[in-house]
Amino acid sequence: MNAQRTFAIAANVFREVIRDRVLYLAGLFAVIMVVATLLLPEISAGAENKIILDVGLAAIDLIGLMVTVFVGTGLINREIEKRTALTLIAKPMHRSEFVVGKHIGLSTVLAVFTAIMTVFYFGVLSLNQIEYPIVSIITATSYLILQLCLIAAVAILFGVFTSSLIATILTFATYLMGHFSRDLVTLSQLTDSPSAQRLVKGIYLILPDLSRFNLKNDAVYDILPNTPTLLSDAGYGLLYTALLLTLAVWIFSRREF
């Protein structure tokens, strides 16, 4: 795989997504934060600061997810439908460079996008004199970026062999199941059916465990997992993303246009 060609694809994706005005959604996040700081003190006296912190992190997660899914599922699918992928693949470019470059470009956008929303978040909190644990929140948003990069790989994987609509539905389903898979395993222990327990455990092992990257609730209390756990979860995310991209490249390399 040629690094120069891969990063050329990544740079092109970055420019395209920026031109699509995706970063304007950061303005939507700023509006949400301003509205939250105006309305929540009126309806949640005494706990408004904690709720504002929660709302801000949840909004970063949700808006980032929307960008990831709707952009990621169409990155390669759109190229296939418009037949522009043929032009690129006809050149001396390996399909792995095409897929990995797309993911790197989108991941860079997501990192920049999340960073911008985090800066807005801190700015609104500071203007309203709301105390916040900056290190814990930066750590939490960093793990949100890891999660979004993993979901981007999921979106690209589904996008290489299904339509954009089906890929979008499957990616959202993976996100939801990935966050509730641990709870499903816990619930399955309450049943007396070994087959049901094995089925749920199999689902847990196959689907990404996205709860590893959800530090939002504890971060607002300045609570974080210990360093070995953080490193282990980061390694899990990077490894799972690499496996998804490997599978996406394998499927894409066998597609006929």
Is residue 15 pLDDT above 60, yes or no? yes
Q: What integer pLDDT is reported at residue 111 of this predicted model?
A: 95
Integer Cα distance of 232 and 225 in angstroms: 11
125 contacts: CB under 8 Å, gap ≥ 6: 52, 53, 56, 132
Is the model more confident about 256 or about 11?
11
Integer Cα distance of 216 and 226 in angstroms: 15
Query: Could you tell me the two tokens for 231?
Result: 């490193």
Integer Cα distance of 244 and 72 in angstroms: 13
User: For the chain, how many structural domains are there in total?
Assistant: 1
Tell me which range, 19-28, 83-92, 126-135, is most confidently predicted by mean pLDDT.
Answer: 126-135
Is the model more confident about 188 or about 155?
155
Confidence of residue 83 (pLDDT cuts 50, 70, 90): low
Query: Contact 158/68 with Cβ under 8 angstroms?
Result: no
**Tens digit of each residue's pLDDT (9 = 90 or more) over 34-66:** 887 877 766 655 566 788 888 889 999 999 999
Q: What integer pLDDT is reported at residue 187 of this predicted model?
A: 63
The predicted model gives 17-30 an average pLDDT of 79
Would you call 145 exposed, middle or buried from its count of C-beta atoms within 10 A (0-12, 13-18, 19+)? buried
Confidence of residue 78 (pLDDT cuts 50, 70, 90): confident
Is residue 239 pLDDT above 70, yes or no? yes
Integer Cα distance of 33 and 35 in angstroms: 5
Q: How far apart are the first and last CA of the chain?
A: 22
Q: What integer pLDDT is reported at residue 205 of this predicted model?
A: 74
Integer Cα distance of 235 and 229 in angstroms: 10
Q: What integer pLDDT is reported at residue 146 of this predicted model?
A: 96
Q: Within 10 Å of residue 130's Cβ, how many Cβ atoms?
A: 16
In the block, which residue shows the tokens 């959604």? 25
| pLDDT averaged over every residue in the chain | 84
**Range with lowest mean pLDDT among 53-62, 102-111, 195-204, 237-246:** 195-204
Domain holding 151, by residue range, is 3-253
Cα–Cα distances (Å) from 11 to 6, 98, 122, 183, in that order, read 9, 12, 29, 39
